[in-house]
Amino acid sequence: MSSKLNITRIFLLLILFIKIISYLEEGNEDKELGENDIRKINMTNGQDEKLYFKYTNVSYYITILSCTPGAKIDFVNISSSTGSVSGKRIDNQIYTVELKDKDLSEPQEGYISFNVSNINDNDVDVEITSVRQNSATEYKKIDYQLDQEIKVDKNNFVIFLDDEEVEKFDMKFSFNNDINNEVCYGFIRLPFNDEKYIPMGKSFKQLKCENFSGSSKQLSVENKVKDSSNGLKNYIAFIFSINSNNGEIKEYSFTINSEIINVFLIVSIVIALIFAVITFFLIRRKQSSESSSIEGEENSYNKKEEKEEKEEKEEKGDKEEATEN
């Protein structure tokens, strides 16, 4: 009886142990950073948080951003068994981590632990961005230019607008080969202007995603974020991101058409039409004037002939009368 009871207890302990291990594994999965991801978590004041990641042979970029005004990232610790790790505090609310290692034979695990503090003692919203960089996820940083054909050799590009006031982008794209891919694009606010920390466009809910097919595409994209600064993400950028499972899209180009040029073309067309109408009426007027002049000359010539004929008749009549006398 006693041995059966002991076996039952051992069996129950094993079940409990398996449940605990399963729970812990699920918890770790929830806190594992993605390959190319944006996640938001809510933390209580002073709470410690631990997020797990894996080293590979490519660079990995992580951003920790406190989205609650007055709250800051208080402490950051990075643990890893190997690899090159560098952390940088942008300000009290932004912390970035760069992981590099090109000599790993297999992925290595590590984690980042941090906590937050809030002067108002309220909960803190934290946004964590993770980007594992490869040929399909890298961004090309492009200067803002109008009416210039710009060539791109990466799937993704970003244009930081700095102090330029932009209402919209009228864009024309030309691809070297036909594509059939989902593309995400639009204007967005970012915490700083470093393209290495930007995840692919599909990670941003604010961007529009649609399928591009063929070798060309025209877009008109309105800037809806120009007047919505929140003091945390002070950099306005335009993002264009091609989702491709087959690696890089071959070189393509685009042009941003200026509104000034469009207005100039419209004004030029209107002026040309006005001049055409004026020229038409001037020609008609000249033709009418010449026609009147010709008619006048003809009438004058006819009257002169009639006068001469009349004079001849009168002279002939006078001669005949004198002969009779």
What residues make up the domain containing 192? 139-262
Is 231 found in the same domain as 163? yes
Cα-trace Rg, the chain:
41
How many domains is the chain built from?
Answer: 2
Among 102, 132, 162, identify where a domain stops: 132
48 in a domain, yes or no?
A: yes
Residue 154 pLDDT class (50, 70, 90 cuts): very high
> Which residues are registered as beta bridge partners of 169?
221
The CATH code of the domain that includes 168 is 2.60.120
252 in a domain, yes or no?
A: yes
Residue 157 pLDDT class (50, 70, 90 cuts): very high
Give the tens place of pLDDT for each residue, 199-244.
999 999 989 999 999 999 999 999 988 655 566 788 999 999 999 8
Is 50 exceeded by the pLDDT of residue 22? no
Among 262, 294, 315, identify where a domain stops: 262
Mean pLDDT of 25-45: 76
294 in a domain, yes or no?
A: no
Highest mean pLDDT among 9-13, 28-32, 100-104, 211-215: 211-215
User: Nearest-5° angle of CA 31, CA 37, CA 42?
Assistant: 50
The CATH code of the domain that includes 91 is 2.60.120.380
Is 148 found in the same domain as 43? no
DSSP label of 198: P
105 in a domain, yes or no?
A: yes
